[in-house]
Structures are given as C-alpha cells and as structure tokens.
Amino acid sequence: MKISDLTTQMARVNNNKTEKQAKVSRVLTFSCVDGPGNRLVLFLQGCNFDCITCHNPHTINHCNHCGDCVSGCPSGALSTISGKVIWDPVACTNCDQCIDVCGHKSSPKITTMTVSEVLELVRHNQFFLSGITVSGGEATMQLPFIIDLFEAMKSDAQLAHLTCFIDSNGSLSKQGWDKVLPYLDGAMIDLKSWQSETHNWLVGRGNHRVFETINYLAEQGKLHEVRLLHIPGKSDLEEEINQVGYYLKGLPADVRIRLNAFQHHGVIGEALEWPKCTKQQMQSFHDKLYAIVQRPMQTPEVYT
C-alpha cells in the first residue's frame, strides 16, 4: 500500500471516530412514496414503538447476536466471530431468511453509515432527487445523526436545494423537534388511533406525545403529512370519526392527509389473523371522513 493511500485510510478512520454515525437498515436511492417528489430514503434501525401491525418488524430492535440466523443462511453470508453475527453483503442474496427466523424483531443486515457516506450517496444521485427522507424504525431515535446530516446538506452548495424530511411516529419531544427544525423542511407523522388506550394496545405506548408533535409541527409550518392506518374492527379511527375528522379539519390547509389500509405484507404475529382492509372498507372510511374534513385525502392504489 502506498504511503498516500495509508494516510488517506487513517484519516478516514479518525474522521469516522468523531463524525456522527447511524445504524441503517436499508437505503432506497429512489422513492416516490416517502415525501414529495423523488427521494433518497434512509431507513434507520431501532424503534420505540412495538406496533402489532408493523410491516417492517425487523427494524424494531438491534441485533442481540444470538446466532439463530447463521446456520440457516443458504448463501453463507452470515458467520459468528467473537460472539457477534457478521453479515457479508457480497455473498448475501437478500432472501431474507435470516429476518424470517429472527425472534428478536431485528436483522443481522445492518450497516453503519457516517454523515459523509450519506452525503456522498446523495451527491451521486442528486440530479435525480427532490430530497432526502430519514425513516425507520423510528428515525428520531438517532436524532443527533439526523441533525448533523441535514445541517451538512443545507450548508453544501451542491445539495442545499434538496429538501430534508423525517418520517416519524411522533414520539419525539418538543425540545427534540426544536433541535432539528432549523434544518427540517417537513415531517410525515403517523396517527394510529384516537383514544390513548387503543393506541397503547396497538403500539405499546399512549398517543399524547403524537398529538403534541402534530400540533407543534403544524404551528411551525413543518407538518407535511398526517397518515392514518385504517384497521377495520381494531383501530378506533372510524369509531371516533367525528373527533378525528374535526381534528384533521383544523390542521393547516397545506397539510396532506394519507389514508393507509391495513394489509398483511411484512406483518408477523396475531395481526396476521386480522382481516385485511378492503378497497370498499377504505372507500367507506374515506367518504365518512371527507364529509367532515372537506379536503383531498390520498388513499391506496394497491390492495394486496
């Protein structure tokens, strides 16, 4: 190895020690459903909700290196070294068998990315992008990384035109949002139920903070979209249609409302026994809500 190459490598290692890093479950270089326009999306690992209906349950916890997934990997992409599960992305065929056998709601296929590495990826795709969205898991559990990433983008002459969005469950405190607001262009927030008791049953926590987040981001002009998941017979959004409708009607006119239909894709556990939301059920829910809200609401195009 040349001296210059060694110096560059050592500099990169030293920089990574001080630079913010994130545990990343997946990266989509192009997405048209995670915010406005065409977006690069980072799905961060780890979530503080434990949703029964989660369609990405492998993003909830961090790998505990139990090794249950190693022996069954058909491509030999997993091994155990010094008590830790090691993933070889080159050998991996992404069959996701490791995720299917994981009883910890995690994945061994997690990478660590620095702010600089993400910026390099954004630069490579910048001419095709409208912006970047950080999702999860729950993105805001790695808030210091997001702040540094968004700040770096806003101060970069080549990237400053790209919008910075967060897709969140709304659990972050007002103080937390205040730290990222100077660099945030918008947020998408999930409203999973109206009553806190129902919310606690569905996700393991109440929804008081979620309402605080929606209200605060709306006041700050940073609320891009509110997303509602319709689970017929399980969630209370249709049962509480009047309260939900008038609440949504009170949001700023530029806030988008998206209605999602419960499906089985990616879901594990008891929710697999629940009936899927049909197109007819979603249309009925939409019509009842629209009678109150009187504004466009996006509904699913595909029902699996």
Mean pLDDT by 10 residues, the chain (304 residues): 44 65 97 98 98 97 96 96 96 96 95 98 98 98 99 98 99 99 99 98 98 99 99 97 98 98 96 97 98 98 87
Residue 96 lies in domain: 63-109
Could you say which of 52, 83, 109 is where a domain stops? 109
- Joined together, the tokens standing for residue 21 give 């890093």
Q: What is the pLDDT of residue 14?
A: 52
Q: Has residue 246 been placed in a domain?
A: yes
Are the CB atoms for 105 and 61 separated by under 8 Å?
Answer: yes
Instruction: Check residue 18 and give its pLDDT.
Output: 83
pTM of the model: 0.92
What's the confidence (pLDDT) of residue 147? Answer: 99
Nearest of 156, 147, 166 to residue 122 by alpha carbon: 156
- As a whole number of angstroms, the distance between CA 186 and CA 119 comes to 19
**What 3-state DSSP class applies to 30?**
strand
Is residue 53 domain-shared with residue 87, that is, in the same domain? no
Q: Edge-to-edge, what's the strand order for the sheet holding 163-168?
A: 111-114, 21-31, 39-44, 131-135, 163-168, 186-191, 223-230, 256-261
Q: Is 141 exposed, middle or buried (0-12, 13-18, 19+ CB in 10 A)?
A: buried
Do 124 and 41 share a domain, yes or no? yes
Q: 23 near 136, Cβ under 8 Å?
A: no
How many domains in the chain?
2
Provide the pLDDT for residue 7. Answer: 45
pLDDT at 304: 77
Residue where a domain stops, chosen among 45, 74, 109: 109
Residue 200 lies in a domain: yes
Backbone angles phi, psi at 86, to 5 degrees: -115, 130
What's the pLDDT at 8?
A: 46
